[in-house]
Structure 1
Amino acid sequence: MNALRIAGLTVTRGAGPVIRDVDLTLEPGRITALVGPNGAGKTSLLEAVSGVVPAASGTVHIGADEITKQSRVARARRGLAHIEQGRAVFGGLTVLENLMLTARTRARADELFEAFPELEKRRDSSAALLSGGEQQMVVLARAFAARPSFLLIDEMSLGLAPVVFTRLLPMVTRFAEEGAAILLVEQFTHLALGVASDAVVVSSGRVTYAGSAQGLLDSPGSLHSAYLGES
């Protein structure tokens, strides 16, 4: 399977760059935790990779094909999905109808309801009437149903109770085991590192660590230094 490769990626917003010369490879079957302090540029990096914002310089490849100038829709057709911060449900549709947009079959939708039992109780409810956490679950379930090859997740825990978030993490792991390459941005750093194979720390727009997630967990001092942008 193809990998997604980011080389020398720089993203500019306002007065200057928020991400500078980032190199990153997402391999099939592996989870990469992208961590760093607030304002480090993590969201901007994901947005540039998925095509929400343009890159000022650098390239993004899927396999041998460069997709840097492709639209977000074109990247999605290549199997690149992006769960952005906040919620993006279709409020005028029921929960089931939201899931069917990507699940396509009722059998696949039923699998999602098994994975998200909270949604099973609300399957015929308008998505606009769901709590914030329930809407986040709809967004996640819809993304999983699409079976993308590359999945960028920005703050999956947003709006979720800690117990629900902890239960969803094994689903991310299972999705990777099925062959997806996942880039996970998460405020709960240690939980993200706990399910990840690889870790990248971004501070002040630059990569200050790239390597084993477990190695970073085992060395709190290294994590602290990486957050501060120290080598």
Structure 2
Amino acid sequence: MNANPLILEDVAVSRGAGPVISGVRFALHPGRIVALVGPNGAGKTSLIESISGVTPNSAGRIMLGETRIDRLTRVERARTGISHIEQGRAVFPSLTVRENLSLTARTPQELKETLAHFPELEKRIDSAAGLLSGGEQQMVVLARAFAAQPQFLLIDEMSLGLAPVVFMRLLPIVSKLAEAGTGVLLVEQFTELALGIADEALVVASGTVNYQGTVEALRSDPDLLHRAYLGGDRAV
């Protein structure tokens, strides 16, 4: 797997009259998890969509190592190893779990290796994905990403529509992806749970990054997290 980081240099994303988020600078390295958290409407989804190519960035550059990728199409970026799990579960409901996973697990051996990490899915392998619970469907989405072995995985609100206890069962899977060498950018509403598995954190509010640094520093100082959410003192 390529060791080049994914780098954002003063990235801004605009919708309508003005920027939704601007001045974003950070690097996501393979094997690391960055939690991107903040209040609703802070620009988290817009930022993650600009990385995958769903939405163009209006300023700045997005680099993969020394190569600029923000001028590439979404399909071209996917070919560089960037995978994007968008809000909501994106299974093919009429296909079985096996058929869904076979979209990225190209050989029987790859399918077997993927299922070894998702034993719950193995029990439902011949069930239509649309008949699975919300948590199981999200597991199918993660399993597809696992089989594809992306260099970078962008996850937007994986917990959407799920009970916290179900979401907590999925978090170790995200950690496994990172352990396998994938860099993960995790956009999440359950801040404490996301920070619990992340190496680094970005807190955005009112369209700007108000904190960027280690998870340890953020979790050890509740006031710092509170100020970052409110858009107060910046600690970048």
**TM tier, smaller:** over 0.9
> 2:135·2:167 contact (CA, 8 Å) conserved in 1?
no
Deviations 1:123-160 (A, max 9, x none): 11222222322221111110111101111111122233
Match of 1:108 in 2: 110
Trace 1:44-193 onto structure 2 (pairs within 5 A).
Answer: 44-193=46-195
Q: Cα distance, 1:214 vs. partner?
A: 1.2
> 1:133·1:159 contact (CA, 8 Å) conserved in 2?
no
Deviations 1:39-86 (A, max 9, x none): 101011000000001111111000100001101110110001111101
Q: Cα distance, 1:164 vs. partner?
A: 3.2
Distance change (3 Å), C-alpha of 1:230 and 1:157: same
Instruction: Supply the AA of the counterpart residue of 1:17.
Output: P
Match of 1:40 in 2: 42
The whole-number CA distance in structure 1 between the counterparts of 2:163 and 2:112 is 23
The whole-number CA distance in structure 1 between the counterparts of 2:207 and 2:24 is 8
SS of equivalent residue, structure 1 residue 23: strand
Match of 1:206 in 2: 208
Report how many aligned residue pairs link the two structures: 231
The whole-number CA distance in structure 2 between the counterparts of 1:228 and 1:209 is 11
Structure 2 regions of 5+ residues with no counterpart?
none
> 1:136·1:158 contact (CA, 8 Å) conserved in 2?
no
The whole-number CA distance in structure 1 between the counterparts of 2:40 and 2:225 is 15
> 1:194·1:214 contact (CA, 8 Å) conserved in 2?
no
Q: Cα distance, 1:106 vs. partner?
A: 2.2
The whole-number CA distance in structure 2 between the counterparts of 1:159 and 1:8 is 32
Distance change (3 Å), C-alpha of 1:126 and 1:139: same
Larger deviation: 34-43 or 171-180? 171-180
Larger deviation: 134-143 or 217-226? 134-143
SS of equivalent residue, structure 2 residue 211: strand
Match of 2:18 in 1: 16
Instruction: Supply the AA of the counterpart residue of 1:114.
Output: A
SS of equivalent residue, structure 1 residue 148: coil
Q: Cα distance, 1:108 vs. partner?
A: 2.5
SS of equivalent residue, structure 2 residue 45: helix
Larger deviation: 131-140 or 41-50? 131-140
The whole-number CA distance in structure 2 between the counterparts of 1:164 and 1:117 is 15
Structure 1 regions of 5+ residues with no counterpart?
none
Q: Cα distance, 1:93 vs. partner?
A: 1.5
> Identity over aligned residues, as a percent?
63
